[in-house]
């Protein structure tokens, strides 16, 4: 558990960070909170020659409203997500999710940007971002571009980011006031990745679902947006039969690995159980 040798860089601006990543090449890695990268380095699964630490980049901090969206700086910590009045009021699923990530010590350092950008299927925020239809602001040597969360994840630790590009902010369309939401996570202990987890955001009117979006964590090589299941539920009263059908549709898109959390079949079933429970809580919160 001793990492290999590396050089450490601490830029103070996005431009400087991107410049360093560009000039140092493939052996350089950006580091945010480090809670995924440092363990991988200690296990020598990753051996970057250069670490470009983003902690000193002030522009990457902060949470603010921008028209109909909310912008969260990539270096915002999970603790700051939980502590944010704006997020608690407007997108409460974020703080609900963040409290299920690791423990307070990790949340003081771990960042939301690192969580979404690393491409680890075990991370919780990516499925939530897909559920919320978030967009990531990415900056590289050719400037800034925006990538939809739903198109960002391509494989385990494999994302739409180009070499040298970093996620600078997360843009989330503010959900309608009074929406229902829930993040349900089954884990073995504090600090564990999900055996399976489900994020639900929905709106309702007159006892019917007017919109519904579902994300699933750690039940495939990438986080999943359960589009078909979401569609099945839209327009329904979340009656048992429709929920069962939607759960089956969600389970159908999973392909979890068998690991010490359980065999694949069990983890798929747990995705269904988590979704059923998340729907139940989201329904209650949406007031029907």
Partner 1 sequence: MNDMTPTSAERAEKLQGMGCKRKRVEDIRFVQGKGNYVDDIKLPGMLYGDFTRSPHAHARVKKIDTTKAAAVPGVVAVITAETLKTVNLAWMPTLAGDVQMVLADGKVLFQNQEVAFVIAEDRYTAADAAELVEVEYEGLPCNVDPLKAMSANAPVIREDIKDKKEGAHGPRKHPNHVFNWQAGDKAKADEAFAKADVTIKEMIVYPRVHPCPLETCQCVASFDKIKGELTLWGTFQAPHVIRTVGSLISKIPEHKIHVIAPDIGGGFGNKVGAYPGYICAIVASIVTGRPVKWVEDRIENLSTTAFARDFYMETEIAATKDGKVTGLRCYTVADHGAFDACANATKWPAGLFSIISGSYDFPAAHVSVDGVYTNKAPGGVAYRCSFRVTEAAYAIERAMDIMAQKLKMDPAEFRMKNLIRREQFPYTSAFGWVYDSGDYQTALNKAMETVGYKQLREEQKKCREAFKRGETRELMGIGLAFFTEIVGAGPSRNCDILGIAMFDSAEIRIHPTGTGICRLGTKSQGQGHETTYAQIIATELGLPADNIAVEEGNTDTAPYGLGTYGSRSTPVSGAATAMACRKIKAKAQMIAAYMLEVHDDDLEWDVDRFRVKGNPERFKTMTELAWAAYHEVPPGMEPGLEAINYYDPPNFTFPFGAYICVMDVDVDTGSSKVRRFYALDDCGTRINPMIIEGQIHGGLTEAFGIAMGQEIHYDEDGNVTTASLMDYFLPTAVETPKWETDWTTTPSPHHPIGAKGVGESPNVGGVPCFSNAVNDAFAFLGSTNIAMPHDNWRTWTAADKLGLHK
Return the number of the residue (179 or 261) whose C-beta is nearest partner 1: 261
CB of 36 to partner 1, least distance (A): 12
Assess 140 for contact with partner 1 (CB under 8 A). Answer: no
Interface with partner 1 in residues 193-222 (CB under 8 A): 195
- Taking the C-alpha atoms of residue 285 and residue 221, their distance in angstroms, rounded to an integer, is 31
CB of 131 to partner 1, least distance (A): 21
Count of positions on this chain that bind partner 1 (CB under 8 A)? 22
CB of 288 to partner 1, least distance (A): 23
The site map against partner 1 for 176-195 (x = CB under 8 A) is: ----------x-xxxxx--x
- Do 46 and 37 form a contact (C-beta atoms < 8 A)? yes
Interface with partner 1 in residues 17-46 (CB under 8 A): 44
CB of 17 to partner 1, least distance (A): 26
CB of 118 to partner 1, least distance (A): 16
CB of 195 to partner 1, least distance (A): 7
Interface with partner 1 in residues 90-109 (CB under 8 A): 103
CB of 193 to partner 1, least distance (A): 8
3-state secondary structure string, the chain? Answer: CCCCCCEEECCCCHHHHHHHHHHHHHHEEEECCCCCHHHHHHCCCCCCCEEEEHHHCHHHCCEEEECCEEEEECCCEHHHHHHCHHHHHHCHHHHHHHCCCCCHHHHHHCEHHHHHHCCCCCCCHHHHHHHCCCEEEEEECCEEEEEEHHHCEEECCEECCCCCCEEEEEEEECCCCCCEEEEEEECCCCCCCCCEEEEEEEEEECCEEEEEEEEEECCCCCCEECHHHHHHHCCCCCCHHHHHHHHHHHHHCCCCCCECCECHHHHHHHHHHHHHHHHHHHHHHCCC
Return the number of the residue (261 or 285) whose C-beta is nearest partner 1: 261
**From 5, 8, 68, 206, residue interacting with partner 1 (rule: CB under 8 A):** 5
Max CA distance (Å), the chain: 61
Return the number of the residue (150 or 261) whose C-beta is nearest partner 1: 261
- Using alpha carbons, list the distances in angstroms from residue 104 to 34, 109, 192: 15, 9, 13
Return the number of the residue (68 or 189) whose C-beta is nearest partner 1: 189
Return the number of the residue (85 or 239) whose C-beta is nearest partner 1: 239
Interface with partner 1 in residues 225-284 (CB under 8 A): 259-263, 266, 269-270, 273
Residues interacting with partner 1, by CB under 8 A?
A: 1-2, 4-5, 44, 103, 186, 188-192, 195, 259-263, 266, 269-270, 273
């Amino acid at each position: 558990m001793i990492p290999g040798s590396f050089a450490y860089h601490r830029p103070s601006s996005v431009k400087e960070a991107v410049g360093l990543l560009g000039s140092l090449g493939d052996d350089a890695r950006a580091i945010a909170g480090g809670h995924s990268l440092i363990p991988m380095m200690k296990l020598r699964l990753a051996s970057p020659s250069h670490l470009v630490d983003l902690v000193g980049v002030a522009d990457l901090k902060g949470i603010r409203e921008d028209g109909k969206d909310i912008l969260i700086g990539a270096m915002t910590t999970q603790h700051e997500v939980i502590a944010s009045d704006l997020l608690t009021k407007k997108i409460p699923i974020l703080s609900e999710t963040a409290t299920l990530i690791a423990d307070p010590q990790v949340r003081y350092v771990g960042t939301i940007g690192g969580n979404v950008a690393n491409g680890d299927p075990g991370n919780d925020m990516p499925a939530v971002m897909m559920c919320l239809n978030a967009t990531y602001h990415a900056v590289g040597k050719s400037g800034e571009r925006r990538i939809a969360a739903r198109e960002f994840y391509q494989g385990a630790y494999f994302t739409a980011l180009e070499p040298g590009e970093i996620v600078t902010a997360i843009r989330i369309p503010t959900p309608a006031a009074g929406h229902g939401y829930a993040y349900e996570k089954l884990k073995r202990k504090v600090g564990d990745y999900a055996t399976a987890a489900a994020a639900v955001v929905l709106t309702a009117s007159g006892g019917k679902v007017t919109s519904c979006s579902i994300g699933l964590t750690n039940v495939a090589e990438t986080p999943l947006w359960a589009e078909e299941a979401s569609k099945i539920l839209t327009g329904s009263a979340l009656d048992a039969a429709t929920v069962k059908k939607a759960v089956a549709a969600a389970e159908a898109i999973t392909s979890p690995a068998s690991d010490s959390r359980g065999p694949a079949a069990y983890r798929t079933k747990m995705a269904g159980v988590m979704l059923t429970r998340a729907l139940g809580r989201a329904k209650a919160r949406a007031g029907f």
